Structure 1
Amino acid sequence: MTPSLVVLTDFFAVTNRALSYAAGLAVPLNAQLVLLHVRYDGMPVPEGYGGQHTPRGERKTDQALLKLAADQTVPTEVDVAQGFLPAALTEAVRRHQPLFVVLGRHSDSTESAELFTSVVMDVLRHAPHPLLVVPTVGWDKFPPRRLLLAVDGQPFAFADQDHQEVLSRLLHATNATLDVVHVTDDAQARPDDGAVLETVRANDLVNVLAESRLHEVYSPTIVAGVLEEAARQEADLLVVVARRHSLLGSLFHSSVTAQLIQESAIPVLVLPAED
């Protein structure tokens, strides 16, 4: 079965940039694209693209989606769903079994950025699947060559083995390097370096990971520490292991995952893990 990447599309330029990013990754991953369009779920759509749910408007949307698919440089299919986004995405993941889902981050205002982040977290709660969030601006490197993995230093495991393989497949396909960052803040003591690395090795996220690739950082806040290290490393993709209890709102936890999604200047790949 040919692997796929599901791209949530709403026709805005930010999403088209995410689509271009996904199409670029699909080539080395030997994957096809699935354009998922959910109508309407309260998310904004451009004027004239079926916002009123008229037969004519929906036909126009379908035609635009087919044209968008035909314009891609890799095999692309269209999936139009009804109802609420989390349910539609859950069904799309079940049907297409993508390596990961791709979304473009809206950030033209603080309010829209917060709304987008809440939508992403809601999706992760209902459909815990690897998710790649591509920001509007602030980055220009492609393909990603320097990946930074943020971990909390505690053991973790993935419920699905396919999720476990996403990072290694991405590293192999792009010939990228991987560094790991662990942030110690005022609330927690610094753990043993070997123990932190073992949490990564135990999940076979990479074949080999040298101790020199681990960066222990002190910062008053975890988010600031991760983002500062990403900038220092000149990383072009941030990978975050997010536990279910953090998605439900509690460390990596006081919405750290949500803040990284909202504030990162580079694309963020979220890998949901069990508690």
Structure 2
Amino acid sequence: MEDKLIVIANETYTSALALQGYLNSNGIECYLKNVNLIQPNISDNVKVQIREADAERAIKLLVELDDPGRGEHNVRRILVPIDFSEHSNNAALFALRIAHVYGAELKLLHVFNSPIVDLIPFSDAASVQIDVDLNFHTLQKNAKKQLVKAFEQIKRYARENGMDTVKIGYSLREGFPSYGIIDSCRRHKPGIVIMGTKGEGFRSNELVGDVAMDVAKEVNIPLLVIPEKAVLKDIYEVKNVLYAARLDDNDYAAIRKLAVILSAFKVNIWCINCTDEPENAIARARLSSLKDYAKKTIKKANIQFELVKGKYCAETFRGFISGRRIDLFAVTMHKRNLLSRLFNPSLTRKMLAEADIPMLIFPD
């Protein structure tokens, strides 16, 4: 009986040809399917097939080709958007502890909304402009007063708890919260953003706060989201971490960044892929390749790899979080569809709320 053919990639015709040549040159027979025989160059969903028995070797070759170990992440600057709610202030204290461990700089950021006036009658424009200017300066003055107060509270907490070596600064921006945070990330290039959700200035959507989602979509920086009901622990009490693997190229960079971020702590990391076909050869090969990569490049972390059977991933992960006493949930965000391939957003939000744990989002 002939070996079963399986699809290892979907590519354009040109990329599929290059991949076929690469695999063939390394002793793996490779076949192309869905090629337009009349105009092959216009084919954009060519299936690259190999024998099932060659799956593990092929995945390892693809990992070497992609070189996923580039761009190791270091935490040197931490950005903390705050809105002066108790929850965002708690997130700032959590960030302070992380900054102290890594010797990182901590910057508090507050973005306040300025008034917008529409449809002003021409005859009233001058008087309205004066009112707007006065209102803007009042808002700016009040926002700065609150920000300085929060800054002084953080500084005092740092002094009283032996963390006075942390360099702490603050920044005040005007505009919409998400745009202000995104622009600050691009200007200051922090190593990580830590923020609470659903504070006084944050609305909640189906997954996490709207502001947090906007930031996660636009910046190429890890984002630590702390849900409103999360029970915050001291950073040293974080012992068990769950990484939701998607078994694609993004996992290699994400698992490395996760290990670097947590390198100062003794933690157990579970790298889990939820699938309704745990015996699938491609899934097993990709997980094995990820495990081999972690073994070679991450020396100190204790990482376990598992394929967990489950039809509904959010519920499966929620059960895993509860059963293994997970303290931190990490995931790579697919910007094109906002995690919709992996989760039902409403279930994810419910899972996080009930589990009471922070969520670490890596960009793809």
Q: Quick check: TM above 0.5?
A: yes
| One-letter code aligned to 1:127 | V
Question: Which one of 26, 33, 51 corresponds to residue 106 of structure 2?
Answer: 33
Q: Which residue of 2 aligns with 1:47?
A: none
Question: Structure 1 residues 117, 211: CA separation in 2 closer, same or farther (over 3 Å shift)?
Answer: same
Q: Which amino acid aligns with 1:213?
A: Q
- Cross-structure match for 1:99: 191
State the Cα deviation string for residues 2-52 of structure 1 (Å, max 9, x = none): 81111110111111111111111112222121101001279xxxxxxxxx6
Question: What is the RMSD computed on CA atoms of the aligned residues?
Answer: 3.7
The one of 306, 316, 322 aligned to 1:215: 306
Asked whether the 8 Å contact 1:86–1:127 carries over to 2, the reply is no
Q: Is the 8 A contact 2:108 2:151 kept in 1?
A: no
> How far off its partner does 1:154 sit?
2.5
Q: Does 1:7 align with 2:101?
A: no
* Aligned mates of 1:205, 1:149 — CA distance in 2: 19
Mapped contact 2:245–2:271 kept (Cα < 8 A): yes
- In structure 1, runs of 5+ residues without a counterpart are 43-51
Give SS of 1:81's match: strand
- 1:120 maps to 212
User: Aligned-pair distance for 1:222?
Assistant: 0.9
Deviation per CA, 1:148-184: give whole Å up to 9, x if none: 11112233278xx8x7753222221122221111111
**The one of 232, 243, 262 aligned to 1:149:** 243
Distance in structure 2 (CA, Å) of the matches to 1:166 and 1:133: 16
The match for 1:46 is none
Q: Which moved more, 1:99-108 or 1:171-180?
A: 99-108
CA contact (8 A) 1:164 1:205 kept: no
Task: Pick one of 145, 155, 170 that aligns with 1:60.
Answer: 145
Q: Which residue of 2 aligns with 1:172?
A: 263
Say if 1:157 and 1:203, in contact at 8 Å, map to a contact too: no
- Which ranges of structure 2 fall in alignment gaps of 5 or more residues? 1-73, 116-134, 159-165
* SS, match of residue 266 in structure 1: coil
Q: Which amino acid aligns with 1:234?
A: R
Q: How many residues align?
A: 258
- 236-245 vs 255-264, greater mean Cα deviation: 255-264
The 1-side partners of 2:191 and 2:288 are apart by 24
Q: Which letter does structure 2 place at the counterpart of 1:5?
A: I
Letter matched to residue 139 of structure 1 = V
Q: 1:59 to 1:140 in 2, by over 3 A?
A: closer
Q: Match of 2:209, SS?
A: helix
Correspondence for 1:235 among 317, 326, 329:
326
CA distance in 2, matches of 1:35, 1:270: 20
Partner of 1:172: helix, strand, or coil? Answer: coil
Q: How far apart, CA to CA, are the structure 2 residues paired with 1:218 and 1:90?
A: 37
The 1-side partners of 2:347 and 2:79 are apart by 21
Q: How far is the alpha carbon of 1:104 from its aligned partner?
A: 1.0
Relative contact order higher in (CA < 8 Å, ≥ 6 apart): 1
Q: Distance in 1 between matches of 2:301 and 2:284?
A: 11
Task: Find the counterpart in structure 2 of residue 86 from structure 1.
Answer: 178
Q: Contact 2:315–2:347 (CA<8 Å) still a contact in 1?
A: no
SS of aligned partner of 2:262: helix
Please give the alpha-carbon distance, in whole angstroms, between the structure 2 residues aligned to 1:86 and 1:22: 19
Native 8 Å contact 2:174 2:180 kept in 1: yes
* 1:197 positional shift: 4.4
The sequence identity of aligned pairs, in percent, is 22
Partner of residue 119, structure 2? none
TM superposition score normalised by structure 2: 0.60
Q: For each residue in 1:189-223, what CA deviation from the matched residue of structure 2 results, as whole angstroms up to 9, or x when unmatched?
A: 58543412434665899615999811222223111
Shift of 1:262: 6.0
Q: TM-score, normalised by structure 1?
A: 0.77
Offset, 1:267: 0.8
Q: Secondary structure at the match of 2:361?
A: strand
Match of residue 167 from structure 2: 75
